[in-house]
Amino acid sequence: MSKCRFCLFVLTLLVSASPIVAQEAETVRIALDWTPNTNHTGIFVARELGFFAEEGLVVEVLEPTETASIPLVASGRSEFGVSMQEYVTMSRDQEVPVVSIATLFQHNTSGFAAPRDRGILDPSDFEGKAYAGWGSDLESVMIRTVMESVGADFHTVTLINMGMIDFTTAIRRDLADFYWIFYGWDGIHAELEGIDFVFLPLSELAEVLDYYTPVIITREWMIDERPNVVRRFVRALARGYIYATLNPDEAAEILLQYAPELDTALVHASQNWIAAQTVDDIDRWGQQEEIVWSRFADWALAHGLIERSIDPAAAYTNEFLPKEVE
């Protein structure tokens, strides 16, 4: 993006978010999809720097419990949530009325990772290997898809459920030959720990797997009955994430204020890596395209991840994004 275009975008976004002083602040909640990490930094930045307050909002952050973010949002126990396109797609298949209102990244930053000594350089090398993950149908279908694209036999792969063990620990315990990770957190952590591994980004293995993750969700009722709240929330959130992209170290320190249990070096390294991935798309923050939703939904239906066709245009909206990114 040209420097002139970028400056105009940020300036207009800041001017459009003038303080709301004529109304009492409204409290809304956002449910995280995982314990606080750098995918969530923009939320904490928007709260700490007063972007939500300037929109007349008080935002409570709900950390994960036994109830995931989608049920909390669908039931009205949280107005907003952090989720993923695959979960929104599967939920809408079950007529759960959640909608994605912004994506945090334009491209999927996850992929398959393997210790370098396993000799895995592409999906054909998965043959005869062991994969450790969370035991979901989505994982096995993804592996099958990328293997079949190169003529490899998925049935030779051994699938292991490793539960909540993190990537670095799994490698040290030698649980399997390859894993599914989010590079911006798990991969950076492994690098800092001196682990030598190969990373195969999903976005490069199959177009259909370059979907939106994470996304910000709300329920249809909020869109119909409280659209002004949704718009103000998204506008403040955009400012938070844009700030985090432009000021990764300052943003990392804000996240650490809210989650001091996190490793400082990991948070800073992760935040800088994410900033490098997102800065070129900063003027498209939050924007989603129907083709990304439709091709994923078609793929999910074809592979039995959902039981019926969904309307991809109803699963997401760009309506509440700041005008400059529409």
Q: Which domains does the chain have, with CATH numbers?
A: 3-107+211-325 (3.40.190.10), 110-209 (3.40.190.10)
Could you give the CA distance from residue 27 to residue 25 in angstroms, rounded to a whole number?
7
Query: How far is 165 from 236, CA to CA, in rounded Å?
Result: 34
pLDDT bracket for residue 67 (50, 70, 90): low
Is the pLDDT at 10 greater than 60? The verdict is: no
| Residue of 223, 14, 8 lying closest to 102 (CA atoms) | 223
> CB pairs under 8 A, 24+ apart, for 48-53?
48/254, 48/257, 48/258, 49/239, 49/240, 49/243, 49/254, 51/17, 51/236, 51/237, 51/239, 51/240, 52/233, 52/236, 53/19, 53/25
What's the N-to-C CA distance of the chain in angstroms? Answer: 15
CB 109 within 8 A of CB 262: no
Enter the pTM of the model: 0.91
Tokens of 101: 């209102």
Q: What is the pLDDT of residues 297-307, one digit of tens each?
A: 999 999 999 99
Mean pLDDT of the chain: 92
